[in-house]
């Protein structure tokens, strides 16, 4: 039974929460088998999988498609889905968008920014909400947010407002470690950091970054594999084998039974000659 209540219990017990993004069934299946606590179907799917220039291009249909795939791969894991850009501009739109993602398999939704009124409306509609403060990819410049007193104060107060409104979890992205630690102590909801230091209640990373799909890397990331290099090497080896006629061999296919082959040659092929 999937339960969001366990995350608050993990926070109370000082047990760290491990979250990863996933965008398809194989990724989700691997994460469920590894017993990852929670999967985020992030709008980062746009840049990392779909080839979009930014998260702002991701549609609600994109998110529903990938949420369904993730749910099929991880039927027993908590799945949070991002509400994409321009799909929660009003309470009515937010509820409709969130219900669409719920129907696709999401246990909860996440949106960016300080909108406690949306948390309340969604919660009233039976839709749990994860907040997201700091760097907001749909809206903000990619940098550390909260280094000034003014920014830090705003993020701190926004976090408390989302918590008071009933958000069950809060992602803090690219904020100073000291600010993330203060927010974590101040609110009831578990905090999930990305580039926010070790004091948050849990961590999230983008799975392609973890797997090392490409050459780029980020200060907040740790590469646990080099899948990109393995993909390139496998593609190059396949190309060489095909051109050298080393693949396929008869071991990679099936042969007709001798009697059927003889009849086929006699009755079909001979007619063609």
> Annotated catalytic sites, by residue?
173
Q: Which helix (H) or strand (E) holds 107?
A: none
φ, ψ (nearest 5 deg) of residue 200: -70, 165
CA–CA dist 202, 11 (Å, integer): 9
Nearest to 174 by CA among 157, 158, 152, 190: 152
CA–CA dist 55, 62 (Å, integer): 11
DSSP summary character for residue 55: G
CA–CA dist 105, 67 (Å, integer): 6
φ, ψ (nearest 5 deg) of residue 168: -90, -10
Tokens 């009515």 identify what position?
92
Bridge partners of 153, per DSSP, are: none
């Amino acid at each position: 039974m999937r339960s969001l209540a366990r995350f608050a219990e993990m926070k109370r017990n000082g047990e760290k929460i491990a979250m990863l993004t996933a965008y398809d069934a194989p990724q989700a299946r691997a994460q469920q088998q590894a017993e990852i606590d929670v999967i985020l179907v992030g709008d980062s799917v746009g840049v990392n999988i779909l080839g979009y220039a930014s998260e702002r291009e991701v549609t609600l249909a994109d998110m529903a498609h990938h949420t369904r795939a993730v749910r099929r791969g991880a039927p027993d894991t908590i799945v949070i889905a991002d509400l994409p850009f321009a799909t929660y501009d009003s309470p009515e739109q937010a509820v409709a968008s969130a219900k669409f993602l719920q129907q696709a398999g999401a246990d909860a939704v996440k949106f960016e920014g300080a909108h406690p009124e949306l948390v309340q409306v969604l919660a009233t509609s039976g839709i749990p909400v994860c907040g997201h403060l700091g760097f907001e990819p749909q809206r903000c410049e990619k940098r550390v947010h909260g280094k000034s007193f003014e920014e830090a104060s705003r993020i701190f107060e926004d976090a408390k407002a989302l918590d008071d409104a009933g958000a069950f979890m809060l992602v803090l992205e690219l904020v100073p470690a000291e600010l993330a630690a203060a927010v974590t102590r101040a609110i009831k909801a578990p905090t999930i950091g990305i580039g926010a230091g070790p004091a948050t209640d849990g961590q999230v990373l983008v799975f392609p970054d973890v797997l090392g799909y490409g050459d780029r890397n980020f200060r907040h990331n740790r590469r646990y594999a080099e899948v990109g290099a393995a993909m390139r090497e496998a593609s190059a080896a396949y190309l060489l084998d095909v051109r050298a006629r080393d693949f396929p061999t008869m071991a990679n296919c099936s042969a007709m039974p001798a009697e059927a082959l003889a009849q086929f040659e006699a009755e079909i092929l001979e007619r063609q000659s």
